[in-house]
Structure 1
Amino acid sequence: MDRTVVITGASSGVGLAAAEQLAAQGDQVVVVGRNPERLAAAVAKVRQAGNGREPGQFRADFESLKEVRELAAHLLETYPKIDVLANNAGGMIAQYRKTVDGHEATIQGNHLGPFLLTNLLRERLAGGRIVNTASDAHRSGRPDPDDFTGGRGFRAYGGAKAANILFASEAARRWPDITSVSFHPGVVRTNFGDGTLTRLFYRFAPFLVTPEKAGALLVWLATTPDLVDGGYYVGHDPKAPASYAADPVAAAKLWDASAAAVGI
């Protein structure tokens, strides 16, 4: 099946590995990344994996909602159908900072930006699938729908990953024509985070999962026919997240607050 698959955060790590694997299967892959040089290198790898088929590409930084809107406009203009949206962009930010939109950078890059993109593409995704890269790090924090300006470090990251899970479950309730899931990719050996110690950990810790293995899980979630809609996957099985990441009342409140924060 020739699917159109959009992968954000696809210029390295899990996203790039999944993009290469999907291209090798014959899918039309759209590679989205923040860094122009890494994006260009990723596009070359995906092209090679796809036996010369030209992947789509777009540079966007999810810490700018303007750039997220520009990405959505490009996708809507270019692709009449999007079969899979993999919301994989994000990361852990060592030092506190606000984005140009006034939100804390971790929650915007990991949740508000993907939330906006998905909502803007909603009609184009009808009959398709949304795969959100979450993490078991969600157990270390919870999102505050009343305040997207606070938090820092690992707790902020945990809260953002809990938001990914809540978003997937609420999307499944609100959009029954789209399958929506989230997953824990494992602790992946990749270029992750922006602090020196964080980067060293995610490159050299001995128990890390390879990007190829985590990417294969993303591919499985993007392509396998029978998934638990709204489920949080660890490996090939849905698992119960932390109780606050499984609360439908909290999910609905987060959705409404997120919509207000991004202006939709």
Structure 2
Amino acid sequence: MDRTVVITGASSGVGLAAAEQLAAQGDQVVVVGRNPERLAAAVAKVRQAGNGREPGQFRADFESLKQVRELAAHLLDTYPKIDVLADNAGGMIAGHRRTEDGYEATIQGNHLGPFLLTNLLRERLAGGRVVSTASDAHRSGRPDPANFAGDEKTYKAFRTYGGAKSANILFAAEAARRWPDITSVSFHPGVVRTNFGDGTLTRLFYRFAPFLVTPEKAGALLVWLATAPKEDLVDGGYYVGHDVKKPASHAADPVASAKLWAASEDAVGI
């Protein structure tokens, strides 16, 4: 099947590995990344994996809702059907920082940006699939829909990241309830050896810790979730490996997911 697959955060790590694997299967892959140099290098790798087939590409920083809207406009103008959207962009940020939109950078980059993109592409995704890269780190924190701007004085990187990953799981479950014509899942890729986060200690950990999962293995899980027959997946499910797992209670609450959805709509202006 010749699918059109959009992967955000595809210039390195899990996203790039999945992009290469999907291109090798013959899919039309659209590579989205933030850094121009890494994006260009990723496109070259995906092209090679796809035996010369030219992948789509677009540079967008999810810490800018304007750039997310520009990405959505480009995709809508270019692709009449989008079979899979992999909301994979994101990361952990060492210190509190507000974006140009006024929101804390972790929640915007990991949740609000992907939330906006997916909603803007909603009709083009009809009959398709949305795969959100979450994490078992969600157990360490929960999102605060009443305060997407965060608090500089109480900011803790891992807790804030955990809240953003909880938001990914809540979003996938709520999308499954609201959009029955789109299969929506989230997953824990493992602790992946990749260029992840900012801050020297965080980068060293994610490059050299001995128990880390390879990007290729995590990418293969994303590919399976993107391509497995619909009847083999649990719509709205949170996957750890090939199995659905129950997330932490705060990330499995339909009331919380509905509140998060409404607050996110207000925050991004849809």
- TM class, shorter-chain normalised? over 0.9
Runs of 4+ in 1 over 2 A off after TM superposition: none
Once residues 89 and 135 of structure 1 are traced to their aligned partners in structure 2, the CA distance between those partners, rounded to angstroms, is 13
Aligned partner of 1:222 in structure 2 is 226
Give CA-to-partner distance per residue, 1:187-218, whole Å, 9 cap, x none.
00000001100000000000000000000000
Look up the match of 2:47.
Answer: 47
* Counterpart in the other structure of 1:204: 208
- Secondary structure at 1:90's aligned position in 2? coil
CA deviations on 1:221-246 (whole Å, 9 max, x unpaired) are 00001210000000000000000100
Q: Deviations over 1:151-186 (max 9, x none)?
A: x40000000000000000000000000000000000
Structure 1 residue 112: Cα displacement: 0.1
Offset of residue 95 of structure 1: 1.0
The answer for the alignment partner of 1:236 in structure 2 is 242
Residue 63 of structure 1 deviates from its aligned partner by 0.1
Summarize deviations over 1:67-125 as a string: whole Å, max 9, x none. 00000000000000000000000000001100000000000000000000000000000
Question: Which of the numbers 161, 172, 186 marks the counterpart of 1:168?
Answer: 172
Superposition TM-score, scaled by structure 1 size: 0.99
Equivalent pairs, count: 263
- Partner Cα separation in structure 2 for residue 222 and residue 48 of structure 1: 21
Structure 2, gaps ≥5 residues long: 151-155
CA deviation map 1:21-68 (0-9, x unaligned)? 000000000000000000000000000000000000000000000000
- 1:2-34 C-alpha deviation (Å, 9 max, x unpaired): 000000000000000000000000000000000
Q: Distance in 1 between matches of 2:118 and 2:199?
A: 29
The CA distance in 1 between the partners of 2:199 and 2:158, in whole Å, is 12
CA RMSD in angstroms comes to 0.3
1:227 & 1:243 partners in 2: Cα distance?
Answer: 21
For residues 228 and 28 of structure 2, the distance between their equivalents in structure 1, rounded to whole angstroms, comes to 17
